[in-house]
Structure 1
Amino acid sequence: MAKKNRFLKLLADKIADDLLSKEYVIADDPEGFKEKIYQLLYEDYIAEKELEEEAERIIQENAEEVTYRGVSLHKARKLIKEKLAKERGISVTGSIFSRDKSNYLAGKILRLILTDDELDYTEERGVIRNAIVHSFEEVAKLRKEIDQKVREKIASHSRPIYEGTPEWFALYRRYYNEELIERGLVEPETEV
């Protein structure tokens, strides 16, 4: 089985746990419900990643044209990504924790709840959707807290470690993982 994206797994579990604990949703198989939410989030994540990679490839192939036209790489990447998304019928792009994306994904999760025969719901659609969006907001806040804590740890080193360097990225990943474990959000990886 492929390794799961930690924050998507955390988000899927949070959404399902919140809905199930409030009894807004009743699932025949709670773990299966979590997995369905994860798959929905993961598919969107992969589509977003493919858009970003394709946009980057197009920019690399047309670097001279982009430079000649005086368009910033950031703006060019955004415009290309928007065009690709439109061509592929993807209506909302961006960070999974942006307001637009979380609302879009909340709608997809709500449709799952409304159409899945293994799920029943006890609240109005708006209440369920708001609970889902609230879960997104809580995980986004947690993510921001962890990021801040990790950056503080890196900054506390006796010698400066500059952001963007391989050393900085290695420390960031290590401290991030330690924070997740310390908060009980992921299990420590065991050596096999």
Structure 2
Amino acid sequence: MRMKLHHTPYISRRISRDLVSCDLVEVRKTREEIADEIEKILDQDIEKEHELDEKVADVLEAQQEEIEYLNADYRQLFWLAKKRMANEFGVILNNEDRYSDIAHKILDYLWEEDYIHYTCSDNKIKNVIFESIDEFLKGFEKADDKVMEKIKNYKRKLIPGTDEYDIVYHRLYEEELIKRGLM
């Protein structure tokens, strides 16, 4: 699952919680300070991808007439252009590689700025961070699936995109996140 901007506060709190409770890590700042810095790193990564998406959209918009003339699939062209331009923007498109890279950035920052200290290998701590991200996003995905199932079986039919649907979806989604300990 892709990480979204509204996930970052939850993910950063989860990572900081896991680092604080890890026996291999000596914490030198408060859990909240650590979570704030992690959230900034996550936000920066997502912002880079948004910049890439905007640039790709601009490029395709400039070629709109030709795209229509050739009857090309816009989504496929968007993905191909994004893949081609990703290195230029420093964006990793493979989620697993991306989360691993983010985990390294978080670890490097926290170590260099003296937020944490450890005496084991970097990879052990990086894996704690990576697992926090991965498990959290999997939990979000499972919660979303559960909410969609509940909405399908809802007494009255809800139409996606309506205000009523959005209100019910967000209420059920938050309940599910709380139930799973993600919020």
What range is the shorter-chain TM-score in?
Answer: 0.7 to 0.9
Aligned counterpart, 1:15? 15
Q: Does the CA-based 8 Å contact 1:113-1:121 persist in structure 2?
A: no
Aligned counterpart, 1:189? none
Aligned counterpart, 1:72? 73
Instruction: Give the alignment's TM-score, normalised by structure 1.
Output: 0.78
1:166 aligns with 2:166: no
Q: Which has the higher contact order (CA 8 A, sep 6+)?
A: 2
Query: How far apart, CA to CA, are the structure 2 residues paired with 1:15 and 1:185?
Result: 12
Query: How far apart, CA to CA, are the structure 1 residues paired with 2:157 and 2:66?
Result: 38
How do residues 146-165 of structure 1 correspond to structure 2 at under 5 angstroms? 146-163=143-160, 165=161
Q: Which runs of 4+ in 1 moved over 6 A?
A: none
How do residues 76-155 of structure 1 correspond to structure 2 at under 5 angstroms? 76-88=77-89, 90-93=90-93, 98-155=95-152
Query: How far apart, CA to CA, are the structure 1 residues paired with 2:111 and 2:59?
Result: 39
- Structure with more helix by fraction: 2
How do residues 40-79 of structure 1 correspond to structure 2 at under 5 angstroms? 40-79=41-80
How many residues of Structure 1 are paired with residues of Structure 2 in the alignment? 177
Query: How far apart, CA to CA, are the structure 1 residues paired with 2:112 and 2:11?
Result: 21
Quick one: percent identity of the two aligned structures? 29
Tell me which amino acid in the other structure corresponds to 2:143.
I
Query: How far apart, CA to CA, are the structure 2 residues paired with 1:173 and 1:53?
Result: 27
* RMSD after superposition: 2.4
Change (3 A) 1:74 1:102: same
1:106, distance to aligned residue in structure 2 (A)? 1.1
Task: Write out per-residue CA displacement over residues 94-116 of structure 1, whole angstroms, 9 at most, x where no aligned residue.
Answer: 6xxx2121111111112113322
Query: How far apart, CA to CA, are the structure 2 residues paired with 1:91 and 1:50?
Result: 10
Tell me which amino acid in the other structure corresponds to 2:57.
E
Change (3 A) 1:48 1:146: same
Task: Write out per-residue CA displacement over residues 53-74 of structure 1, whole angstroms, 9 at most, x where no aligned residue.
Answer: 3323433343322233443222
Query: How far apart, CA to CA, are the structure 2 residues paired with 1:71 and 1:106?
Result: 38
Query: How far apart, CA to CA, are the structure 2 residues paired with 1:53 and 1:172?
Result: 28
More displaced stretch, 99-108 vs 170-179? 170-179
Tell me which amino acid in the other structure corresponds to 2:80.
L
- Mark the runs of 5 or more structure 1 residues left unpaired by the alignment: 187-192
* Secondary structure class of the residue paired with 2:26: strand
Q: Does the CA-based 8 Å contact 2:9-2:39 persist in structure 1?
A: yes
Instruction: Give the alignment's TM-score, normalised by structure 2.
Output: 0.81
